[in-house]
Amino acid sequence: MTPDARILDGKAIAGAVRSDVAGEVGELSTTIGRAPALATVLVGDDPASEVYVSNKHRACEEVGIESVHRAVPGTVGQSELEEIVRDLNGEDEVDGILVQLPLPDGLDAGPVIASIDPMKDVDGLTAENQGRLASGSPWLVPCTPAGVIEILDRSDIPIEGKEVVVIGRSNLVGRPLISLFLDRNATVTACHSRTVDLPGVCRRADILVAAVGVPGLVGADFVKEGATVIDVGINRTDDGLVGDVEFEQVAEVAGAITPVPGGVGPMTIAMLLANTVKAAGSRR
């Protein structure tokens, strides 16, 4: 059966963001006399992390952002790793710093993130950037939640005054999204693993966002007719990559829906590029 819902094509929207970023990189490079630069710190040799970092380098290259890479052995000490980050803070020609997570066992990500200069914190994970976002004056915002808002905006789906339900309250996705939707004057409900009657609460939503990590959690019974459904989940299963939403069923009820893959996923790197340009622009 063909889905009734409009499919929100994250890949195409991410392409449009990247192309805008490429234009801004061109202008900024003229103003500051060099290309903006993103530093990546990869600790250890986890193959998945290596792929993520090399994808980020490729994306940077495509829009004209310089990559500065620090490959750090997994045997690095906690304070030595924090020192590497602080050195990057002090490098004038580095505009953004990204520490690829998760770190190998034995290293604590909290203090490493805390050592990133908030002005260069393109993942938006430092306490300063999270606090700014939570208090209504965002600066660098985490990339995946920023990508969700970008999909809605570029698809002309209004947010102001709408009932928004976000499932998931992580620092990486759920919490920043709740703040971003509040900033856009939505009426926001935050759901999590202890929410009572999750389907009933979700059925209130004009915009429903699932950021959980449970394959197929959101069925058609969670969705009000015509609602917009954004699936942040990325779950590897025997059937391949799936989201948190039962796509086929939900697409028959929803008004618009993001697929997995090809929905929110491609937006994350696009917003990282946008954050790098923002960070570089603020340092001119």
Angle value at C-alpha 149, between 146 and 150, nearest 5 degrees: 85
Q: Interface with ligand NAD includes 97 (CB under 6 A)?
A: no
Q: Interface with ligand NAD includes 265 (CB under 6 A)?
A: yes
CB of 283 to ligand NAD, least distance (A): 27
Q: Interface with ligand NAD includes 173 (CB under 6 A)?
A: yes
* Binding test (CB under 6 A) with ligand NAD, winner from 96, 124, 233, 255: 233
CB of 217 to ligand NAD, least distance (A): 6
Q: What mask of x and - would describe binding to ligand NAD in positions 185 to 204, judged by CB under 6 A?
A: ------xxx-x--x------
C-alpha 249/C-alpha 254 separation (Å) is 9
**Is 100 an annotated catalytic residue?**
yes
Residue 2's identity, in one-letter code, is T
Give 66 or 123: the residue with its C-beta nearer to ligand NAD: 123
Give 124 or 233: the residue with its C-beta nearer to ligand NAD: 233
Which residues between 124 and 153 bind ligand NAD (CB under 6 A)? 144
C-alpha 5/C-alpha 9 separation (Å) is 12
The answer for 64, left when phi > 0, alpha when psi is -120 to 50, beta otherwise, is left
**Is 95 an annotated catalytic residue?**
no
CB of 259 to ligand NAD, least distance (A): 12
Which residues between 245 and 264 bind ligand NAD (CB under 6 A)? 264
Q: Interface with ligand NAD includes 281 (CB under 6 A)?
A: no
Report which of 135, 113, 111 is spatially closest to residue 122, judged by C-alpha positions: 113
- Among 95, 121, 123, 244, which one carries the catalytic annotation? 123
Helix or strand holding residue 218 (H, E) = none
**Is 56 an annotated catalytic residue?**
yes
Q: Which residues of 248-258 are buried (b: 16+ CB within 10 A; e: fewer)?
A: ebbbbbbbbbb
End-to-end Cα spacing for the chain: 53
C-alpha 125/C-alpha 200 separation (Å) is 32
If binding means CB under 6 A, how many residues of this protein chain bind ligand NAD?
A: 25
Q: What share of the chain is helix, strand, coil (3-state, %, to 5)?
A: 45, 15, 40
Give 189 or 268: the residue with its C-beta nearer to ligand NAD: 268
Task: Show which residues are catalytic.
Answer: 56, 100, 123
Residues near ligand NAD, by CB under 6 A: 144, 167-170, 172-174, 191-193, 195, 198, 211-214, 217, 232-235, 264-265, 268
